[in-house]
Structure 1
Amino acid sequence: MSEDQKQPVDEKPSRSSSKGSRSSNRGVVTGVLSAVVILAAGGGAVAATSMMPEPSGGTTMDIRQADVPAGRALGVCPEPARLVNGTVVGTDADFSPVSTTAVSALNAVVLSNPAGTVPGSKVTSLEGDAVAEIAKAPASTPTPTAGPPVLSAGVASISPVTAPAVVGADPLGNEQASLAANLSYAATDGDLRGLASAQCQSPGNDAWLLGANTAVGRTAVLNLSNASETPATVNLDLFGEKGQIQAPGARGLLVPPGTTRSVNLAGLAPSEGELAVHVRSTGGPVAATIQQSVLRGLAPGGVEYLSPGSGASSLQVMSGVDIQDPAATKALATKPGFADAAPALQIAVPGSTDAVVQVSLYGANGERKIPSGGVVTVKGGSVATVNLEGIPAGTYTVRASSDVAFVASARVTRGAKAEEATDFAWSPSSARLGSQHLVAVPRNGQRYLSFGVPEGRGTVTYAPVTTDGAVGKSVDVDMSGGTTSLIELPSKSGDSVVAGYVVSASGDPIYGALVLGTQGRPDISVVAIQDAAAGLEKVPVSVGY
């Protein structure tokens, strides 16, 4: 990071064996189910009206907005990175112990409502067994008064982490709670040497993951976690450089409640250097991450969690694309087995229509030209890579656009010598920032917030959240269009350790990411800033008689 910028192998579903107090995670679907009931009732009224003559005295009332009860907020966290043992057979992932120097930590933050009330919240296992309490449920919920909000937070930290976990928070005042949690892993020895980090994600039924690689020396393990009480059936759509990959074992993967199913992607799509995975589930929602690692001969090439980015769209933006010295990177990438040790943009087109994608790059001092020209044609149903070599060192925001929907993610690399350890990260595309995004950060290492404004002008505001639950004074950063700002984060605010940040943006679209590293080591990880909590939702209801 330049100084001028600083401002099928398939494991049987695993289940926790702990038998402590249990806490259901099914609240996340409450709001959705309520909406379905309301809409179904409304649909029945419409159907009956269309088939029967309206009585002479019939009356139809105006369409009104009905409140949908807020669901429980959930963040599902992957387990620390583990090595895969043995030869690929079928789709069962056989894991071996992690490095002897591996450290892992889960850091969670739950934000209060504007009146300063922190919702009841805790960390549990996938089965619902209690692991740690973040905040007790309040006896009452004070109504926010006029004036600026008085924010506070609940904070929890767990280390080491031994299994997937769930961070959950109850709604307050019929609004979903705002939570964020980060799972970090680091090791200085072994095949999984490097730094990996992931924000714990809200489970869903549709997700795209890019950056997977099953070529020689590369291992990609897809982890599917079901924190609900409903079985999930998962179908995987796999896309490679030559088109969609037909893999019979990618259909009908059952993930029982409270379990994680691990799938070694080399068993479904072997020898694929560019692999995109579309995860679709029916029944229970799932959280999906890919543990990607590289081993070049005896030299570790890094480890990272690949997390879902934005869905298919005609515009994708990625921030936190941190590029090191281009000369050293080029020299390394020309060596056998090191082609993927260079920065790049990966693009996947789900449909059958080819996409002509325009790529732009924005740094601290404005737009930078891409040596390859910045325009690439990607065949429908395939994956392509845009090389980002030759670009001056610095942190960038990448903007890609087309008239055809696509998905994208950017690769970041670290290390310059073939005989030494290297590392890599992927920055998935993200949505524009709005109001009160919550970002959990690891307690150790180098931490930066990267913000990009592709065009126009915008202001980003960030405030620290400390381990004592206080939300500190906010800082405003005014940004010109076509630029990226990199802000180094302190380990403390006053005398308290920083656990996270509250981030808001206004003006033209701003995009953000958390960039992580380790002083003196070639470690790198990038985490996109997730969506803010949903507010009070409403659905239209028409009543007639």
Structure 2
Amino acid sequence: MHKDGNDAVPQPHEDVNSATDVTGVQDAADGSGAAGATANAAPAAGSLKSLNARALSVRGTVAGMASAVIIVAAAGSLVAAASMGPQSAGSRPLEAPLAAVPAGSNVGICPGPARLLEGTAVGTDPQFSPESATAKSLVNAAVLSTNSGALPGSRLAELNGNPLTEIAKDPGSPTASAAPPALLAGVVSQRIVDSVSVLSADAVGNQQATAGAVMSYTATDGDLQGSAAAGCQQPANDMWLVGANTSLGRTAVLNLSNASSTPATVSLELYGAQGQIQAPGSRGLLVAPGTTRSIVLAGLAPDQEKLSIHARSAGGPVTAVIQQSVLRGLTPGGVDFIVPGAAPATRQVMSGLDIQDPASAKALTAKQGFADASAALQIAVPGPADAVVEIKLYGRDGQKALPGGGVVTAKGGSVTEVSLAGVPAGQYTVAASSDVSFAAAARLARGLKSDSATDFAWSAASARLGSQHVVTVPRGGERYLVFGAPGDRAKITYTPVTADGKVRAAATADIAGGTTTVIKVPAEVDGAEVLGYVVSASGDAAYGTVLLEENGRADVATVAVAPGAAGQEQVAVKLGY
């Protein structure tokens, strides 16, 4: 497939212009404990000393309170006197000052392997069976060197802190060099994992490290047959996930992971096709530090073909991933990791949408149980107002007409699905806009035979590309970088990072406005296996996704390009009481 994809071997220039608590909650790792203490009776003399000490303490407290009252009263008198006195001609209001916030570690939490849910009844914790005999879960990661040429202290560890791999030691204080040093990378290549893992890279010179990682899952047997992949995401306190399904034969498990040292209390807002769902047990979900909590979404919102989740955390930031799987009778229908997309906005863009032959897809979806085995766009409108959404598809040779006109009304407070059936086969970028904020994700499906395994993937809405995004790719299969420029022309620079830690020569691609370009990732560059890319964009807004497929199988997965590293931030300081 994609026989016309461009080879990503760097070229001098490449010009592309072709127009629950209800059903169940599970703590993956124990994060709570109890401690107690007993007091023995003290001798009488000790009691007398204790009483004297208490009396002195009380007197000291009272004296301190009295002193505080005198100080506050005096301060009030000074303020009153100042307010009654004439103001200086030079007096003026002051803007809230900006305070520099030290750069912190770059932390990415990778989801754990897909596991089969079994034996779950209402009111019980979820249980998971082991993976199939062929299931593999691997992490690939890359950390870039700083401007001084030093690799930041970085490591891959389990969520509870147990080390897995040390990437680089702390380089100490950076030193200036006479000439710009060559860019290097610390890498993790094909690291087998059996639980949630965490990539962390320390800040150097008050600049956040540039790093990225991806976890990939594949299986050729069992109910969870197929491929799934997810970028290792930074923890957050507010997330939107679109694309869950809890109808017959579909299983959706929300996994909340907390890598911080602060407990997190997570509340969920659930939106279905008929509106917001009020589910007891969706509020106040405690996620202890260093643990993952799993929630079976069918226990909160059963029989929902279209389900979106708004997760908000108070306390520690968390990551959220939905393990979504399909089983049509005895035939596996695929597995995917649904990750958070862009927050609700009046414009959303999704790239990496690969559409199959429309005639064959129509024949498959006409069969019972296969209605969701096709490309579609889901729109979640959180507010009460309806959203009139205009949808545009951009392919390699320009915009393609969407059957039905491309303008739909999405009801406020609910989830609306728009079928993309009838669109010619190919790779697309989807852009949707409205005057009302909404969240969105696009579904792509693979497989055209009802008696064989099929697969699916969700491409979440993403932010526009900036500079120095670390895009890691799993090894094996067919791998593509898919970039879209819905507006005007954009230029993409993509620099290969190989498994030996070297950053190779960069290549560029000019993308005409209103088009999508697909770049095939080669197995090797300069004799070394390709582990990922450093991607930067300039010009008009561009968006990117990694598309993963397998020759001879219906496997498919997508990984959105994660945001680049943040530099030193500044926050406004407000004075008050």
State the TM-score, normalizing by the size of structure 1: 0.90
Match of 1:142 in 2: 175
Following superposition, the deviation at residue 156 of structure 1 comes to 1.2
Q: How many angstroms apart in 1 are the aligned matches of 2:340 and 2:96?
A: 37
Alignment partner of 1:504: what SS? strand
Following superposition, the deviation at residue 59 of structure 1 comes to 7.3
The match for 2:437 among 405, 408, 415 is 405
The match for 1:73 among 106, 109, 116 is 106
The match for 2:29 among 2, 12, 15 is 15
Q: Are 1:462 and 1:474, in contact at CA under 8 Å, matched by a contact in 2?
A: yes
Q: Are 1:16 and 1:125, in contact at CA under 8 Å, matched by a contact in 2?
A: no
Match of 1:443 in 2: 475
> Is 1:129 aligned with 2:143?
no
Between 385-394 and 134-143, the greater mean CA deviation after superposition: 134-143
Listed one character per residue, the Cα deviations across residues 195-216 of structure 1 (whole Å, up to 9, x for unaligned) are 0000000000010111100000
Q: Are 1:10 and 1:261, in contact at CA under 8 Å, matched by a contact in 2?
A: no
Following superposition, the deviation at residue 541 of structure 1 comes to 5.5
The match for 2:526 among 494, 504, 509 is 494
The match for 1:387 among 391, 398, 419 is 419
Match of 2:278 in 1: 246
Sequence identity of aligned pairs in percent? 56
Q: 1:307 to 1:505 in 2, by over 3 A?
A: same
> Is 1:106 aligned with 2:152?
no
Following superposition, the deviation at residue 542 of structure 1 comes to 8.7
Q: How many angstroms apart in 1 are the aligned matches of 2:367 and 2:245?
A: 18
Following superposition, the deviation at residue 249 of structure 1 comes to 1.1
Match of 2:499 in 1: 467
Match of 1:20 in 2: none
1:324 partner letter = Q
Q: 1:435 to 1:146 in 2, by over 3 A?
A: farther
Following superposition, the deviation at residue 364 of structure 1 comes to 0.2
Correspondences of 1:299-378 after superposition (within 5 Å): 299-378=331-410
Q: How many angstroms apart in 2 are the aligned matches of 1:243 and 1:514?
A: 33
> Is 1:256 aligned with 2:288?
yes
The match for 1:157 among 180, 189, 192 is 189
> Is 1:517 aligned with 2:549?
yes
Alignment partner of 1:266: what SS? helix
Q: Are 2:173 and 2:204, in contact at CA under 8 Å, matched by a contact in 1?
A: no
> Is 1:231 aligned with 2:245?
no
1:3 partner letter = K
Q: Are 1:16 and 1:127, in contact at CA under 8 Å, matched by a contact in 2?
A: no
2:129 partner letter = S
Q: Which runs of 5+ in 2 are unaligned?
A: 8-19, 32-75
Q: How many angstroms apart in 1 are the aligned matches of 2:158 and 2:412?
A: 40
2:309 partner letter = V
> Is 1:210 aligned with 2:242?
yes
The match for 1:194 among 223, 226, 236 is 226
> Is 1:222 aligned with 2:254?
yes
Q: How many angstroms apart in 2 are the aligned matches of 1:236 and 1:187?
A: 31
Q: How many angstroms apart in 2 are the aligned matches of 1:326 and 1:352?
A: 35
Q: How many angstroms apart in 2 are the aligned matches of 1:244 and 1:540?
A: 35
Alignment partner of 1:317: what SS? strand
> Is 1:422 aligned with 2:478?
no
The match for 1:287 among 308, 319, 324 is 319
Match of 2:153 in 1: 120
Q: How many angstroms apart in 2 are the aligned matches of 1:305 and 1:317?
A: 19
Listed one character per residue, the Cα deviations across residues 335-360 of structure 1 (whole Å, up to 9, x for unaligned) are 00000000000000001110000000
State the TM-score, normalizing by the size of structure 2: 0.85
> Is 1:534 aligned with 2:563?
no
Q: How many angstroms apart in 2 are the aligned matches of 1:63 and 1:191?
A: 57
1:89 partner letter = V
Listed one character per residue, the Cα deviations across residues 354-390 of structure 1 (whole Å, up to 9, x for unaligned) are 0000000000000000012111111110000110011
Q: Are 1:466 and 1:496, in contact at CA under 8 Å, matched by a contact in 2?
A: yes
Q: How many angstroms apart in 1 are the aligned matches of 2:296 and 2:574?
A: 49
Match of 2:118 in 1: 85
Q: How many angstroms apart in 2 are the aligned matches of 1:503 and 1:364?
A: 20
Q: Are 2:469 and 2:564, in contact at CA under 8 Å, matched by a contact in 1?
A: yes
Q: How many angstroms apart in 1 are the aligned matches of 2:491 and 2:136?
A: 36
Q: CA RMSD in A?
A: 2.3
Q: Are 1:114 and 1:144, in contact at CA under 8 Å, matched by a contact in 2?
A: no
Q: Are 2:120 and 2:127, in contact at CA under 8 Å, matched by a contact in 1?
A: no
Q: Which runs of 5+ in 1 are unaligned?
A: 18-47
The structure that has the greater radius of gyration is 2
Match of 1:34 in 2: none
Q: Are 1:238 and 1:246, in contact at CA under 8 Å, matched by a contact in 2?
A: yes
Following superposition, the deviation at residue 114 of structure 1 comes to 2.4
2:215 partner letter = L
Correspondences of 1:172-191 after superposition (within 5 Å): 172-191=204-223
1:351 partner letter = G
Match of 2:63 in 1: none
Alignment partner of 1:392: what SS? coil
Q: Are 1:306 and 1:426, in contact at CA under 8 Å, matched by a contact in 2?
A: yes
Q: How many angstroms apart in 2 are the aligned matches of 1:247 and 1:207?
A: 18
Q: Are 1:115 and 1:151, in contact at CA under 8 Å, matched by a contact in 2?
A: no
Listed one character per residue, the Cα deviations across residues 20-64 of structure 1 (whole Å, up to 9, x for unaligned) are xxxxxxxxxxxxxxxxxxxxxxxxxxxx9x976368789788875
Following superposition, the deviation at residue 95 of structure 1 comes to 0.7
Q: How many angstroms apart in 2 are the aligned matches of 1:91 and 1:310?
A: 33
Q: How many angstroms apart in 2 are the aligned matches of 1:263 and 1:139?
A: 42
Q: How many angstroms apart in 2 are the aligned matches of 1:89 and 1:452?
A: 44
Q: How many angstroms apart in 2 are the aligned matches of 1:231 and 1:66?
A: 27
1:14 partner letter = A
Correspondences of 1:9-88 after superposition (within 5 Å): 9-15=23-29, 53=82, 65-88=98-121
Alignment partner of 2:4: what SS? helix
